[in-house]
Structure 1
Amino acid sequence: MAISAKLVKELREKTGAGMMDCKKALDATNGDLEAAFDWLREKGIAKAAKKADRIAAEGLAAFAIDGDKAALVEVNSETDFVAKNEEFKELVNMIAKAVAEAQVNTVEETLKLVVDGQDLDTIIKEKTGKIGEKLSLRRVVAMSKSEGETFGAYSHMGGTVAALVKVANADDEKARDVAMHVAASAPQYISEDEIPEDVRERELNVLKTQALEENAKAAKPKPENILHKIVEGRLKKNFKEVCLNDQAFIKNPDQTVAQYLGNGKVEMMARFKVGEGIEKKEENFAAEVAAQMKA
């Protein structure tokens, strides 16, 4: 099948691999983006991508904490200039407070919430007209806590990244520190127990293929039982890098987050990086890809 420049661009952004390597991977996998990603990893050309590595749009992520309720939201704007506008900031904070109070967890539910006699959908549209730039609510998360639980929240670079956590058996300082760590390190799961089976299997298959290819090229190939241990070791290492409890704590890399918390336990976490996964328009990229493919 013909591989489009857009597909090459998407794989390139996801993996950081070169343009022609991305084209080869897509050719080898009949244009299947996920399979091409794994193909590049198997060849040692790309590493597992983190959400934080994707291209960003503009806007703000903000949290609100009101007693036993809290929320984290992301609202997008077209330019960084508007994201710094005080009126836009007030809008984002209003939405975060409304989500915390109502404890809704979808954009659709949030847009129906009424604040000062108007639903948020109308308020956002009116702000769009007033500010002169498209504004859109992208995602929300609400949390509630009970006795013995604490919220921790952290905002980085004026709302470019924001994190919210709920921790049991921990004080405010520790909860905030964990939120800071989540904002900085972007864990995908709290613990290894949360990793879905299909994710485990996919990662295992990639590492097995990688190890077999390395072994085939080695001067002294390793026996199967040793290869198995190597793969298991790499799998464990990869999972530790994406699980909050096992990550090296940002304020003291000599201990893990779990060790820092001691008897404390993270029960929920959310992290929003503004615009992650949203493509920005790049007018000349298609022409650049087409030219290089003809070379």
Structure 2
Amino acid sequence: MIDAKTVADLRARTGAGIVDCKKALEAAGGDMEKAVEELRKSGAMKAAKKSAERETAEGLIHAYIHSDGKIGAMIELQCETDFVARNADFRQLAHDLAMQIVATDPEWISPDDIPAERVEAMKSQYQSEIAEESRPEDIKRKIVEGKLAKWYEEATLMKQPWVKDDSKTIESLIQERIATIGEKIVIARFVRYRLSAEGKKVC
């Protein structure tokens, strides 16, 4: 039996539809890499890429202020049509994302937005931490990759576990909403404020 989280993870990775992801996982016996190959062969990933290229010219800017009035966030969430921008599910997603930003203080939207020199600096730091350990080099490499993945979860909005349901990442949450709403959805930018100027975060 293929669980919903595995399907969501494959969808977040490939952009393919939920039904296609489920079929690919079933055909691959639950193996993620084989499922990716199944989607590639079936053309589902090509269709997802075409969808990803569609323009997001509509959307909204949503603000959330915490109940204490000392911290808040604004987010620009984009979609393809004004009809969807006025949709209750789309607006709820914007609200949930703004709440997530207030709660977790991400620095970037996704790992792709992190400057390469920052990634290299973190990688060097993690390599230094285990340099003296007597482990095979391939094991050390996997440890560093794991530490980087953990850092991405903390530093980027898309990789964070959703505060309302930590079985989902923000990335998989957005993919679920795309499947439900039927349009491409993009986080364009966000800003997070604390009462003091030092707490301002802009992305």
Query: Scaled by the length of structure 1, what TM-score is found?
Result: 0.41
Higher helix proportion (structure 1 or 2): 2
Normalized per residue, the structure richer in strand is 1
Contact kept, 8 Å, 1:167 with 1:175, in 2: the verdict is yes
In the alignment, the residues of structure 2 paired with residue 272 and residue 249 of structure 1 have an alpha-carbon distance, to the nearest angstrom, of 20
Match of 2:144 in 1: 231
Identity fraction in percent: 28
Change (3 A) 1:147 1:201: closer
Deviations 1:210-254 (A, max 9, x none): 0114x1xxxxx2111211121122112211221101101111111
User: 1:25 — aligned with what?
Assistant: none
1:165 pairs with 2:75: yes
| 8 A Cα contact 1:164 1:269, kept in partner | yes
- 3-state DSSP class of the match of 1:212? coil
Match of 1:150 in 2: 60
Instruction: Kindly indicate whether the alpha-carbon contact (under 8 Å) linking 2:153 and 2:161 is maintained by their aligned counterparts in 1.
Output: no
| Counterpart code for 2:77 | V
- Residue in 2 aligned with 1:78? none
Once residues 241 and 231 of structure 1 are traced to their aligned partners in structure 2, the CA distance between those partners, rounded to angstroms, is: 16
Number of corresponding residues: 127
Quote the offset at 1:276 in angstroms.
5.8
Q: Give the deviation of 1:277 after TM superposition.
A: 3.6
Correspondence 1:266 to 2:174? no
| DSSP 3-state at the match of 2:154 | helix
Partner of residue 5, structure 2? none
Choose 1 or 2 for highest CA Rg.
Answer: 1
Counterpart CA distance in 1 for 2:159 and 2:191 is 17
Question: Unpaired runs of 5+ in structure 2?
Answer: 1-55, 80-84, 179-184
Q: Does 1:211 align with 2:102?
A: no
CA distance in structure 2 between the aligned counterparts of 1:153 and 1:261, rounded to whole angstroms: 18
1:104-253 aligned at under 5 Å gives the runs 147-169=57-79, 171-213=90-132, 215=133, 221-253=134-166
Alpha-carbon displacement from aligned partner over 1:86-127 (angstroms, at most 9, x marks no partner):
xxxxxxxxxxxxxxxxxxxxxxxxxxxxxxxxxxxxxxxxxx
Amino acid at match of 1:167: L
What's the secondary structure of 2:135's corresponding residue?
Answer: coil
Tell me the C-alpha RMSD between the 2 structures.
Answer: 1.9
**1:123-155 deviation digits (Å, cap 9, x = unpaired):** xxxxxxxxxxxxxxxxxxxxxxx8521222100
Alpha-carbon separation, structure 1, partners of 2:76 and 2:91: 10
Give the structure 2 partner of residue 256 of structure 1.
169
TM-score, structure 2 length as denominator? 0.58
Q: Where does structure 1 differ by over 4 angstroms across 4 or more consecutive aligned residues?
A: none
Higher relative contact order at CA 8 Å, sep ≥6: structure 1 or structure 2?
Answer: 2
C-alpha distance in 1 between matches for 2:150 and 2:98? 23
Change (3 A) 1:204 1:147: closer
Give SS of 1:222's match: coil
Structure 1: gaps of 5 or more residues: 1-145, 216-220, 279-295
